[in-house]
Amino acid sequence: MSGPITVTDEANSLSHVHSAPDNAPRKSYTLATITFIYLLWSLVPVAIAVLFSFNSGRSRSVWQGFSLRWYIWDPEGSVLHNESLRSAVVHTLVLGVITTAIVVPLGVLFALALDRWRGRVPSGASFAVLLSFVVPEIALAIGLLFMITWLATPFELGTTAQVIGLITFQLSYPVVIVRARLLTIGTHYEEAARDLGASPLGAVRRVLLPMLYPAIFVSAILVFADVLDNFVLVRYLSANAASETTSMKIYNTARAAPTPALNAIATLILLASFAVVILGYLAYRKWGRGQGEEGTGLGSMAAM
């Protein structure tokens, strides 16, 4: 922190005291303009890409009228009728569901253990979680790829390998979020339950776990939305066209004169992601009220 600001002119400081209302944040049009332009620059290109998924022609830059041609009508190129496009969307969603279903329980138990269990093993594991947070995704992806290539693992590249990689990569989300919540809960509810005769497991299951539901819910949303967007891991751990996800499809065909159907699958995944996040936000607001942790989801996301 900087050194104290020296008082050079007492009169000057007094004059500031007298103009107290001036201290309220003043309107800053320059900053507002910069922010506005930034938001336009950040979001309008994506909005245009979404718009062109509804183009009735083949072009992705000349608007030829609104149509659902690239979603359902086109007999060959639409998401509905093109096997590889449809499978990319379905596979992305399948990966999201399976990964979330496994990683959230795994991470919640892990967070409970790390928070309450003292010793070398948990502190080492705690460090490993933080490490998995910062180790570049490409390192984990290549490591798993090599492991599957050179070690006699009971699974092959493809969906299984992708799910394993995603679980490993996503595990830190529920751990970090649930631990943050555990810190604010403290141990006294659990102790009270124990005093009233609950078994250790019973205290966790019937007292602690219900208090953790909002945090668990938020981490499930974050994991699901993040898996939909994953690219590096799923690409290295994929096997063939059947394990191609939407982001891989974009990578593979964006520069090869694609049709607006590519925009359409990207839009579908975008909608899935937004739907889950909005649903989560609404449920969280309803649920989390009164638990004194408004904005924890956003806060923990910002802290990442």
Partner 1 sequence: MRRSRLLWPVLGMPAIAWMAVFFLIPLYVVLCVAFGKVDPVFRSAIPVWNPLEWSFTQLAIVVDRLVGPDNFYLPPVLRTIAYVVIAVAACLLIAFPVAWFTARHAGSHKALVLTLLVAPFWISYMMRMLAWVNLLQNDGWVNKVISLNGLLPTEQAWLSGRPTTVILGLIYGYVPYMILPLFAALDRISPSLLEAARDLGAGGFDVFRRVILPMSIPGVAAGMLLVCLPMMGDYFTNDLLSGSPGTSMIGNLINNSITTPGQSGQAAALLLIVLVVLSVPMIWYTRSTARSEVRS
d(CA 101, CA 11): 65
Q: Which of residues 275-304 bind partner 1 (CB under 8 A)?
A: 277, 298-299, 301-304
Is 94 a residue that touches partner 1 (CB under 8 A)? no
Q: Which is nearer to partner 1, 97 or 128 (CB)?
A: 128
CA distances in angstroms from 188 to 83, 184, 202, 204, 205, listed in the order given: 56, 11, 15, 12, 15
Q: Which is nearer to partner 1, 97 or 135 (CB)?
A: 135
Q: Which of residues 38-67 bind partner 1 (CB under 8 A)?
A: 38-39, 41-43, 45-46, 48-49, 52, 59-62
Dig out the tokens for 240 from the structure.
């063939």
Q: Which of residues 201-240 bind partner 1 (CB under 8 A)?
A: 201, 204, 225, 228-229, 231-232, 236
DSSP calls for 182-240: HHHH-SHHHHHHHHTT--HHHHIIIIIHHHHHHHHHHHHHHHHHHHHH--HHHHHT--S
Q: Which of 68, 94, 113, 211 binds partner 1 (CB under 8 A)?
A: 113
Supply angle C-alpha 108, 235, 48, rounded to 5. Answer: 95
User: In the chain, how long is the greatest CA-to-CA distance?
Assistant: 80
In 3D, which of 208, 225, 233 has the Cα closest to residue 297?
A: 225
Three-state DSSP class for 176? Answer: helix
CB 132 → partner 1: shortest distance, Å? 6
CB 129 → partner 1: shortest distance, Å? 7
CB 290 → partner 1: shortest distance, Å? 20
CB 217 → partner 1: shortest distance, Å? 16
Choices 79-87, 137-145, 207-215, 284-292 (CB under 8 A): range interacting with partner 1? 137-145
In 3D, which of 59, 80, 60 has the Cα closest to residue 70?
A: 80
Is 117 a residue that touches partner 1 (CB under 8 A)? yes
- 164-203 mask for partner 1 (x: CB under 8 A)? xx-xx--x---x-------x----------x----xxx--
